[in-house]
A and B are shown apart, each in its own frame.
Chain A
Amino acid sequence: MYGIEMVKGLLVTLKNFSKKPVTIQYPEQRVSQHPRFRGEEFSWYEERCTGCASCAKYCPLGIIEIVTDPSDTAVKQGDKYKLEKFDIQLFRCMFCGLCVEACPYDALFMGSGFEEGKYTRNDMIITIDDLRNSPKNPSTWYRPQLEAKNYDPRSGQQLSWKEVGRESWNWHKTEKAGMRITPDPKQD
């Protein structure tokens, strides 16, 4: 009968009228953010980074700029290059996370924040100093070792570079970084 379905629709809205709103009042309330969230504030662990620039090569937009210095003490130690520049142009970043996927030494992690609005583009470039000083709340995206520990990036605790790696922190004592073959992550 004409009108019955309309009344049915009206009843649906009335039922929803009595329900609690599903929206979240953002600054006060927050939705639960999953550990794999690909956010800003890249967590970078200088101790692990060899300056291989895999991330820069793998970035689809080419927004990572790495300048390394092969001279000085770095060569003598035989471990890695000294990084002079590690710029991430965050304003062009699309947070696909391929740089993290490319990193063979677990040195670069996605961050977990999303509230880094800035007023100028130059502020949006993450420099090596920013990376060094930024809070280390890495996301567990493409990092199974963190997921295995049930790590929650939003809990606020910072992780040191020893804690985030999938091997013990002194792996470099027994083998040289360049010779090391990353085991397939799925075997973990």
Chain B
Amino acid sequence: MITHISFWVFAVVAVLSGAAVFWVNSMARASYALALSFIAVGLQVLLLHQNYIGVVTILMMVMEMAVMAVYMVMFMGMNPALMPMNMVHDKRHALAAAVGAFLLLAAGAVLIPWPARRGTPPAGVTVALGEELMGPKMLVMAVVGAVIAATIVAGVVLAAHRTRYDRLGDDLRRRPANDPQPGGVGR
């Protein structure tokens, strides 16, 4: 009973705060509304007995949204004053597409005769996930790890202004490096 009630509460919170992302005027509120939506979804995933995934969703997404809000304040000069920002284009078509997608997906969800459950959930879901990842599905994890490492490198290259040649000189020998803000290690 409690499970059902909380499922519906989380569902309503998730969808409403998701809608609020595009409803509120301030971008900071938008990103924290999205964070709230993710928290609700994470808790729903907890209810669906996937503790690790649920908590990790909350962890990752709150962090991301915190970063996103800072990003917007820094680059877009958002101050807390609620500036009405209505930056949409092609609102009608987008709305139509969204409603269409919802009807299609909802019809699918309700009308498709879903098969019965195969198998039973493992006793320790998280343990099973860990063993799966470090066993049969290790390739997936290895690939994901490599992709994330590549993302870090690519992201830094794209976003960074200065290269090591700017810091250390053309022959990379300058010590300490020429930084506008010296670091704390004294390299």
A pairs with B: no
Q: Give residues in A with beta carbon < 8 Å to B.
A: none
